[in-house]
Amino acid sequence: MTIPLRSRPVSSPSRRRALYALGSLGAAAAGLGAPALVRAAGDARPASVRIGVAQPLAGNPPSFANSSIAVAYAKGWINEEFARDNTPVEWFFFKGAGPAVNEALTNHQIDFAFQGDLPSIVGRAAGLKTRLVLASGVRANLYVGVPPSSPLRSLKELRGKRVALFKGTNMHLPALRLLEAHGLTERDLRLVNLDTASYLAALTTGDIDAALGALDILRLRDKGGVRVLYSTKGQSPVYTRQSALLVTEAFANRHPEATQRVVNAAVKTARWSSEETNREEVLRLWARAGTPYEHWKEDYDGEPLRVRLNPNFDPFLVARYQDAVDQAARFKLTRATFDVQQWIAPRYLKTALKDLRLETYWPVYRADGTILGA
């Protein structure tokens, strides 16, 4: 299996001992090399740019999906941005998802991270000094699957049932929000923490009554192994999942020019990925990671790419992140709340949008998800 230039997955169990625990963040990261040497303050050129991704690579060529950052990786566009001055860009992929990325951040082993809202919020609340710089892969849908023979016909009927949820991911909070909208709390269910592969297997064997999951449920549906009980597609975007790119404060302060270049390349990619003429190629690039093209097509049907691949922290996305911060504290997933507006570092995105003349390219949405000016 080949990996694109200067990119490598994080997979060496023998190196896990190099990572220290981050309090309640828990899960061990799956192997990075020794932390980089501290460079002098104000050094304009970093020795490398290290990007962590809260997804494992899959497929051939190895890929990940559902964001413009995934397209940037597949196309090599962030690497190309730094190739002209021979600065290596290294990509690290974590099977342990959010907690593993947070552990790598706290040990200064990555400079940027692409992850869902909850894991990044947990890290920030625990003291990680990070700044949000770019949204990528927003409004991702939730799917609720049940065994084909299940008598369940509505979310309200999940009361008292064995329901799987991949806790600690950006699926966690919107799933709880969705349940609350249907009169259920976490205590009303027999909630089981299972990752994607495990909940798909448990649905097949009938060991659980339902799973709150993602697009993978459609793959099992097509094999006759699951029935889709509910989907957020076409429903309120309040129940969808959000992701973003963040940078450590240390890297941004030491290398503001390099930080700007990463954001510039990411915005250029978001622009290309948002063009409807590129829809087919975007979806097929994502399909390399294992989810069939037909499922991406179904999931994105009727939704403009400019909505799902919008890099802006507009009022809608800020509200979703602030709600997630407050909800995480309410469900005791974190011990502190904070102001999301103070977490966002808008100057990099504003500069990129201005330089690329894209200030008005993407739509702006109100906090309730309706388009501004409509």
Indicate the pLDDT class of residue 17, thresholds 50, 70 and 90.
Answer: very low
Per-residue pLDDT at 16 exceeds 50: no
Write the pLDDT tens digit of every residue in 290-317.
Answer: 999 999 999 999 999 999 999 999 999 9
Query: Residue 19's pLDDT is what?
Result: 31
Q: Considering the domain 13-139+242-355 in this protein, what is its CATH number?
A: 3.40.190.10
Identify the DSSP state of 235: S
| Residue 179 structure tokens | 């349940």
φ, ψ dihedrals at 226, nearest 5°: -160, 155
Average pLDDT over residues 317-322: 96
* Beta-carbon contacts of residue 5 (< 8 Å; ≥ 6 apart): 76, 79
User: 170 or 297: which carries more pLDDT confidence?
Assistant: 297
Write the pLDDT tens digit of every residue in 76-90.
Answer: 999 999 999 999 999
Average pLDDT over residues 128-153: 96
Please list the residues that pair with 245 across neighbouring strands: 114, 134
Per-residue pLDDT at 197 exceeds 80: yes
Indicate the pLDDT class of residue 370, thresholds 50, 70 and 90.
Answer: confident
Give the residue extent of every domain in the chain: 13-139+242-355, 143-239
φ, ψ dihedrals at 305, nearest 5°: -60, -30
3 state SS of 50: strand
Per-residue pLDDT at 3 exceeds 80: no
Indicate the pLDDT class of residue 168, thresholds 50, 70 and 90.
Answer: confident
Q: Considering the domain 143-239 in this protein, what is its CATH number?
A: 3.40.190.10
Average pLDDT over residues 66-95: 96
Indicate the pLDDT class of residue 60, thresholds 50, 70 and 90.
Answer: confident
Per-residue pLDDT at 321 exceeds 60: yes
pLDDT above 70 coverage of the chain, percent: 87
User: Which is nearest to 262 in space by CA: 240, 276, 248, 247?
Assistant: 247
CA distance linking residue 163 with residue 144, whole number of Å? 10
Question: Fold identical between 13-139+242-355 and 143-239?
Answer: yes
Query: Residue 373's pLDDT is what?
Result: 64
Distances (CA, A) of 117 to 54, 139, 244, 264: 11, 11, 7, 22
Write the pLDDT tens digit of every residue in 23-56.
Answer: 333 333 333 433 333 344 455 789 999 999 999 9
